[in-house]
Structure formats: C-alpha cells, structure tokens
Amino acid sequence: MSARNPGMDLDLEWVSKVRVNTQAVLKRAQQIQSVKLAKKQWQAAWLLKAVTCIDLTTLAGDDTHSNVHRLCLKAVQPVPYDLLKSMGMHDRGLTTGAVCVYPSRVADAVKTLKAANSSLPVASVATGFPAGQTPLRVRLEEVRGAVADGAAEIDIVINRTLALTGQWEAMYDEIRQFREACGDAHMKTILAIGELGTYTNVYKASLVSMMAGSDFIKTSTGKESVNATYPVAIVMVRAIRDYFLRTGHKVGFKPAGGIRTAQESLVWLALMKEELGDEWLSPHLFRLGASSLLADIERQIFHYVTGRYPALHELPMA
C-alpha cells in the first residue's frame, strides 16, 4: 500500500459549497463507456492488470473454513500457471490485490495465506456490515477484533443516516474513531452510494470520509439495490482528485458490487487512467471488489492463449 492519508480537520465550509452538475456527470460517464478498449495482446495485458487489483471476496452467510481456504489459494494463483507461462508472465508473482472476508473468517484466511507463504493482505469488512446499524462501541470492537486476527485492511461502512441528514461532524467523528481502531491496517470506507440519494451527497460523503483519514473510498457493500455505477464513480474520483490537489494526499478508489465481466473491468481501468492518471492504476490506489469477475477474466485469457473458450471443467474454482 502507498503512503497513508492522515486526514485533516473537518472543513465544513468546503463541504457546504459542493454542487454536482448531474448532466455533466452523466455525459462524462457515457464518454467513458464508449472509450475504445485495447485488443488482443494489449487487452490480455490490461486484464492481467485488472486481476492484480481485485479484492477477491466472499461475504456469504454460509462461508466456511474450506471455501475461504479455497478462495485464498485462488487469490495466490488467480490465473492458471500454464496460461501465464504461454504469455511469459509465469514468474511475475501475479496475485489478486487482497482477499476480503467477514471478521469471523479473518483468522482462517491469514492462516491459509501464511501456509502458502504468501504476503497477500487480508481485508475484512467491519462496523456492522452491510447496514452499519449496530451501536458504535460494537462497531469499534469489530474493527479491533479483525485487526487483532491479522486483517491488514478494514472495509468499514458509514452510518448512512448521518450522511442523509447532513450530520457531517458526527459522521467525521465516527470515521476518525474507526481509523484509530484500525491502527496500522489500511481503512477503506464504504459509502453505500445506492442509499445516499443524490450525487451531491455522494461527493460530500466522499470528502468527509477522506478528511477523516480514509485510505480508500468504496462505492458499495454489494448488498444494496444500486452498486458500482460509472456516474457515481466519476463523482467519487473527482472528489479524490480535488482532495489530492488540496492536500497532496492520494486516496484510493474501490468500486464494488455487480462487476462481473472482463469487459467491465477494462472500462473501470480506463476510467481511472483518464480521470486520475497512471499512478492510480495499481493495487495501492485501485481495487475492484468482486467475487465472480475473476472467472470471466480467466475465460478471456484462456481464449486469448488458445483461440477458444474453455469447457467448464478446464477452469475449476481452485
């Protein structure tokens, strides 16, 4: 991970001045979606770049030790060795960006990765994920517990009620406390944009989260009815850019929820490159929260190498 964002004092004057031009945002999002994407070997290279930015995630009610174990091994070797070998990429140590699990599964993930001799970070959701509606002391305890079990990254959720009612000081104070509870673990702040109402609110919530010391801002939990969309991403990355220009601190971006195809991952990379520049095209500052995306990227890479799509048994889960 890159240098931490230390945050800053809450600047309510900056927050109150925010106005988002919805039509301009929608127009820019359309332009991004119509960008000409790379083909052939360039596309394959971009897809491998996307793999390195994936937070390979399982957040299911029936998660067990064995499926977390499998997920970790997949994260360590996300693309089959023979495919990487034929692309000359087998010795690059290609892994996903992190593994993301519930707090109760952090210890399982840490143990599996240690046994696999991997330094891949474990990310844990916390703070009453996905709704964030448990008491503050319980949310803080959950963060501390996940860090104690070895989580190197914590994906927190904001209290949407505070954002919706414009209680920015209270929201700032909560996130500051979460940041403190994270210690050395990097903090990704989930805005749950599908529940924030307006683009202006999304921008304000992004700013307040960064002022409070978030290392990343993340679109969604993946459990809302609206998840990562390109217009919302434009709003959030513009807030990241403004914060960087004002403070000199780089904050990462993580779209999550509903990102399933290799093609979409290329659009997300194009969006980051065009809006924030090449520096943000690395797992230090960009993550894709996804559970099924990797499977489609593997299919496309298999097709690039062999000229055909794989049969089901040719790309098992692990």
Q: By C-alpha distance, which of 9, 22, 8 is closest to 201? A: 22
Residue whose tokens read 């414009």: 166
Of the candidates 155, 204, 250, 296, the residue annotated as catalytic is 155
CATH for the 12-314 domain, from 3.40.50.970, 3.20.20.70, 3.30.499.10, 3.40.50.300: 3.20.20.70
pLDDT score of 93: 95
155 is catalytic: yes
Burial of 101 (0-12, 13-18, 19+ CB in 10 A): buried
Distance separating alpha carbons of residues 276 and 287, to the nearest angstrom: 14
Tens digits of residue pLDDT in 104-139: 999 999 999 999 999 999 999 999 999 999 999 999
Of the candidates 204, 250, 254, 296, the residue annotated as catalytic is 254
Could you tell me if 143 and 181 are in contact, meaning their C-beta atoms sit under 8 angstroms apart? yes
Could you tell me if 51 and 270 are in contact, meaning their C-beta atoms sit under 8 angstroms apart? no
Distance separating alpha carbons of residues 185 and 122, to the nearest angstrom: 10
Q: Collect the ranges in the chain with pLDDT lower than 50.
A: 318
CA distances (Å), origin 291, targets 52, 60, 127: 14, 11, 21
Residue whose tokens read 């903090």: 187
254 is catalytic: yes
Domain ranges of the chain: 12-314
pLDDT score of 37: 86
Backbone phi and psi for residue 167, each to the nearest 5 degrees, phi listed first: -85, 70
pLDDT score of 230: 97
pLDDT score of 317: 56
Of the candidates 215, 218, 250, 296, the residue annotated as catalytic is 218
Query: DSSP label at 103?
Result: G
pLDDT score of 3: 86
Q: Whole-model pTM above 0.85?
A: yes
273 is catalytic: no
Could you tell me if 116 and 73 are in contact, meaning their C-beta atoms sit under 8 angstroms apart? yes
